[in-house]
A and B are shown apart, each in its own frame.
Chain A
Amino acid sequence: MADTHKTHHVKGLQHQFDDMQQQQESATIGMWMFLVQEIMFFGGLFTAYLVYRSRYPMAFAAGSNHLDAFWGGLNTLVLIVSSLTMALTVYYAQKSNRAMQVVMILLTMFFGLVFLGVKVIEYSDKYNHGLIPVTGWNKKTSKQVVALPFETKAEAKETHDSHKEKPYVNPNGDFQWNYGGEDLVMLAKEKGWLTEAEKIGYFDPITKEFDPKRFENKVRIFYWLYFAMTGLHALHMVVGIIIMTWLLWKAWQGSFSAEYYSPVEISGLYWHFVDIVWIFLFPLLYLLGRHFLH
């Protein structure tokens, strides 16, 4: 032990460590600490979600109902499978199986990209419907039929024009909420479900009537939370794919073996973490409160 730092050059061992075991342990604890940090980072947003959701559950239910649970569910499935391929990457690294490592990393990256692709589809749908909570960041249009998410214009014409709904007009690209909510709020009022914040938040202070503009502002809060949380998550996915690219390069060179696989392991920890965050995001954003409407 005493003369360690002058001696053996084990492959991949950095000078400050005595042996591979110490190095691997450090890397693993380091990644866990980083993930703790990440939990707190997302934690701020989850707290904001908790606060606002408990204040305006009806507006959140309305907003949530216009996220597409099919795409969200598909992405959940995609990420769960990618977690499996990631775990298999670690497994094959431990078995020193270079070919299968490469395959599994490629699969993991593929699923990561599928996830991001679906996210693009979803985001652009929100863009087309004026659901991005930032003025000017939505599609600017002078006249268009109100379409539900993922409906084509033609379909929308058929189903909605007959109901004489007002057209989607959005020349400035504002956030808009054209999907009602009054029935829902009235129902909740009747049943005594409204929270204290909602009793004030949705109604005009003078006429005591339901005020769609005020309701829209609360739905807007749901949408900024949706974009902040999934956006931050997607950013983590992008970073994950960059890490995977580097890992692919190293695995291709045959850097990892049963003796040295800690980069694979800690990249895996990161990947699983990002998946788990999604496992929380999906029910909170897509599922919770849907039953109010059905």
Chain B
Amino acid sequence: MEKVEVRAEQTKPNYLNNGYSVWSWLFTKDHKRIAIMYLISISVIFLIGGIYAAGIRLELLTPQSDLFETGTYNKVFTHHGIIMVFLFLIPAIPAVLGNFLIPIMIGARDLAFPRINLLSLYIYWLGSAIILWALLQGGVDTGWTFYTPYSTTFSNTYVVATGLGIFINGFSSILTGLNFIVTIHTMRAPGMTWFRLPLFVWAHYATSLVMILGTPVVAITILLVALERIARIGIFDPTIGGDPILFQHLFWFYSHPAVYIMILPSMGVISELISNFSRKRIFGYEFIAFSSIAIAVFGFLVWGHHMFVSGQSIYAGLVFSILTMIVAVPSAIKVFNWTATLYKGQVSYDTPMLYALGFIGLFLIGGLTGLFLGAMGMNVHLTDTYFVVAHFHYVMVGGTVLGYLGGLHYWWPKMTGKLYSEFWGKISAMLVFIGFNLTFFPQFILGYMGMPRRYAAYPPELQVLNIFSTAGASVLGVGLLLPVIYLVHSLVWGKKAPDNPWLLPGLEWRTSSPPPTENFEQTPVVTWEAYDFSDENGLDVEKVKKELATV
């Protein structure tokens, strides 16, 4: 009898078996399919960016500039930065996990604008294709920051083409943000009040605000750089009255908040993981929710901390420094609340939880070193050294990538209907954690000792720490490749996932795995609070347990 049920389950209609042709994917309006296409694209992009990272670390194995010529090295780190920042970190969590989960988490059939959602994917493809084309043609050597007047007057590389790609890509992120905001406002199921929303949704709401407010500014900035290069109209060229520092202001006005586009969704994932794997309502729900909004708002007021040595006025620097300290407060609120949630919770150490715990540790270090850098005097010493590199990798990799991987593992059974190998999952989570620290912790010391970033050569005294860093990068590389293998393996040979493999109350666990095209057979009516682990929240625990036992 059990078997009959299983067979019946397999033929159940879901978003994956709803059409197999290429067109059914390319012209889909289903947010889940779009998310899967994003997932595949972003994984490929991450691999390319990773290869460039490997190039950097190999070059830095020895003090001489021997693997690449210095000009080539400039291109290698520029490509690594552009690919990772604009094509991976910014879209990763919102476009993949957010796209897949937000409608399900709020009990909607789809995002408010499914066609715009598909459009944003095509825009992403177009922008990425242009960027990759430009890189293949010969690439860019300006650094991902495109500082003027080097990028506008002196660099002889594909600045305009790359800029065009980034410009186009920006609209993908604007449209995604717009879609999320509208969806969260209007598409919530009956009973799904704002304060019953999972914190993942709140985090994405804040992220979307940043996407909408920040991205257009960088778009226009890149447009101006392109105009300056093509027509030399003199915006950023001091020899004809322009001001190169204006570029830095406009650029960082977006690019500092962009850091929050990367980290906020990851914080949303971590809130889910910490609460659910402690089986305890998250401590201070409202504080975490509003701290996301606070980060999004304050994040727009601190861009000047990238420009302490650019010649901006000391008084402006002072204000930016203080505001930078203030923006650390909401981040700290989150970390304290996560820690308090763990206290006396029934903590289980599944793979996603390992990533979440890793996140807390690494983000703590990344955030605190951010405060060092935000202090003006300290910043003058550390500007453009490896300390900065280590700091933002602790936030970007230790924060965003760990959150992304944790979330991907956590929702993998839901997204694919398959269970991955828990054993290999844990191994890779630990490898990532160890490899990451081995790679980037030595860079704090290197930076403090004065090793500048963006150089292919360095004094021989610094070699030992660089060898540590490169060795760590290899471990990290293995840790990141393993999931590709066992996750893909699970698609074919993995066990079938139950609807609610972790026995959790969230809406996404109350529909089948993988979900049907319309997400729910019936529009759900929400009568319970978020992260309510009591038995009275409408979840049939007995049924779920029975189902779990069959796996």
Check A29 against B246 for contact (C-beta < 8 Å). Answer: no
Say whether B231 contacts A48, CB under 8 Å.
no
Cross-chain pairs A/B with CB under 8 angstroms, 28 sampled: A5-B109, A16-B110, A16-B187, A26-B112, A26-B113, A26-B183, A29-B182, A30-B113, A33-B212, A37-B174, A40-B212, A43-B216, A44-B216, A44-B220, A44-B221, A47-B249, A51-B243, A51-B246, A56-B241, A133-B233, A134-B231, A137-B231, A217-B241, A220-B234, A221-B241, A221-B242, A224-B227, A228-B224
- A:1-28 near B, CB below 8 Å: 1-5, 14-18, 22, 25-26
CB distance from A163 to the nearest CB of B (A): 29
Any chain A CB within 8 A of the CB of B495? Answer: no
For residues 165 through 223 of chain A, which have their beta carbon under 8 Å from a beta carbon of chain B? 201, 214, 217-218, 220-221
Quick check: A40 and B213 within 8 Å, CB to CB? Answer: yes
With A3-B522, A29-B185 as given contacts, are A16 and B108 in contact (CB-CB < 8 Å)?
Answer: yes
Contact flags (1/0) for B181-225 with A, using CB distance below 8 Å? 111011100100000000000000000000011111101110010
Closest to B247 in A: A48
Within the complex, the shortest CB–CB distance from A164 to chain B, in Å, comes to: 30
Given contacts A22-B187, A26-B113, A44-B216, contact A217 B234 (CB under 8 A): yes
| A246 contacts partner chain B, Cβ-Cβ < 8 Å | no
Bound CA–CA A22/B215 (angstroms): 28
* In the assembled complex, B258 has its CB within 8 A of some CB on chain A: no
In this assembly, does B178 line the interface, its C-beta being within 8 Å of a C-beta of chain A? yes
Whether a CB of chain A sits under 8 angstroms from the CB of B525 is: yes
Q: Is there contact, CB below 8 Å, between B186 and A22?
A: yes
How far is it, in angstroms, between the C-alpha of A1 and the C-alpha of B241 when the chains are bound? 63
Query: Chain A residues with Cβ under 8 A from B185's Cβ?
Result: 25-26, 29
Query: Is residue A36 within 8 Å, beta carbon to beta carbon, of the partner chain?
Result: yes
Judged by a CB distance under 8 angstroms, whether B240 is at the interface is yes
Interface residues of B in 493-551 (CB under 8 A from A): 518, 522-523, 525
Let me know if B281 is at the binding interface, CB within 8 A. no
Classify the secondary structure of A's interface with B. helix
A30 touches B182 (CB 8 A): yes
A292 within 8 A of B: no
Residues of A contacting B217 in the complex (Cβ-Cβ under 8 angstroms): 40-41, 43-44
For the complex of A and B, the 7 pairs showing the least CB-CB separation, nearest first, are A44-B220, A41-B216, A16-B110, A134-B231, A40-B216, A224-B233, A217-B241
Q: Are B241 and A220 in touch, CB under 8 angstroms?
A: yes
Interface size band for A? 35 or more
Of all chain B residues, which has the CB nearest A18?
B523
Tell me if A38 counts as interface (CB < 8 A to partner B): yes
Query: What A residues does B186 contact at CB under 8 A?
Result: 22, 25-26, 29
CB neighbours of B242 from chain A (8 A): 221
Q: How far is the CB of B468 from chain A (nearest CB, A)?
A: 42
Q: Distance (Å) between the CB of A176 and the closest chain B CB?
A: 14
* Residues 130-157 of chain A, each 1 if its beta carbon lies under 8 Å from chain B, else 0: 0001110100000000000000000000
How far is it, in angstroms, between the C-alpha of A51 and the C-alpha of B249 when the chains are bound?
11
Give the complex CA separation of A41 and B221 in angstroms.
Answer: 9
B256 in the interface, Cβ–Cβ < 8 Å? no
The answer on a CB contact under 8 Å between B182 and A37 is no
B232 interface residue per 8 A CB criterion: yes
A221 interface neighbour in B112, B190, B234, B249, Cβ under 8 Å: B234
B58 within 8 A of A: no
B250 lies within 8 A of chain A by Cβ: yes
Which residues of A are interface residues toward B (Cβ below 8 A)? 1-5, 14-18, 22, 25-26, 29-30, 33-34, 36-38, 40-45, 47-48, 51-52, 56, 133-135, 137, 201, 214, 217-218, 220-221, 224, 228
Docked complex Cα distance between A16 and B110 (Å): 6
Q: How many Å from the CB of A132 to the closest CB on chain B?
A: 9
Question: Which of B182, B212, B215 has most A Cβ within 10 Å?
Answer: B182
- A1 x B219 contact (CB < 8 A): no
User: Which residues 236-269 of B have a CB within 8 angstroms of A?
Assistant: 240-243, 246, 249-250
Is B89 among interface residues, defined by CB-CB distance under 8 A? no
Quick check: A217 and B240 within 8 Å, CB to CB? Answer: yes
Given contacts A16-B109, A43-B217, A228-B224, whether A2 and B246 have CB atoms under 8 Å apart is: no
Residue B111 at the chain A interface, CB threshold 8 Å: yes
Contacting residues, chain B, for A44 (C-beta < 8 A): 216-217, 220-221, 224, 250
A133 contacts B234, C-beta separation under 8 Å: yes
In whole angstroms, what is the CA distance A52 to B187 when docked?
A: 45
**Which residue in chain B gives the minimum CB-CB distance to A55?**
B243
CA of A35 to CA of B299, assembled, Å: 21
Q: Does the CB pair A1–B112 fall under 8 Å? A: no
Asked if B235 is at the interface (CB within 8 A of a chain A CB), the reply is yes
Question: In the bound complex, do residue B522 and residue A218 qualify as a contact, i.e. CB atoms below 8 Å apart?
Answer: no
Supply 17 further A-B pairs (C-beta < 8 A) apart from A40-B217, A214-B241, A220-B234: A1-B190, A16-B114, A18-B523, A26-B183, A26-B185, A29-B182, A29-B185, A30-B179, A37-B174, A37-B213, A41-B217, A48-B235, A52-B243, A133-B234, A218-B241, A221-B242, A228-B224
Residue of A nearest to B109 (CB): A16
Contacts A33-B181, A48-B246; is A5 near B518 (CB within 8 Å)?
Answer: yes
Neighbouring A residues of B219 by C-beta, 8 Å:
41
B234 to chain A, nearest CB (A): 6
Given contacts A29-B181, A34-B178, A217-B240, contact A224 B234 (CB under 8 A): yes
Cα–Cα, bound, A14→B219 (Å): 32
Q: Which residues of A are found within 8 Å of B111, using beta-carbon distances?
A: 16
B523 & A41 in contact (Cβ 8 Å cutoff) = no
Q: A1-B523, A22-B187, A133-B233 are in contact. Are A37 and B112 (CB under 8 A)?
A: no
Are B178 and A37 interface neighbours, CB within 8 A? yes
- Chain B residues with Cβ below 8 Å from A40 are 212-217
- CA gap between A43 and B186 in the complex, in Å: 28
Q: A53 → chain B, closest Cβ, in Å?
A: 13
Give the complex CA separation of A137 and B231 in angstroms.
9
Q: How far is the CA of A274 from the CA of B408 in the complex (A)?
A: 42
Q: With A and B bound together, what is the CA distance between A222 and B246 in angstroms?
A: 15
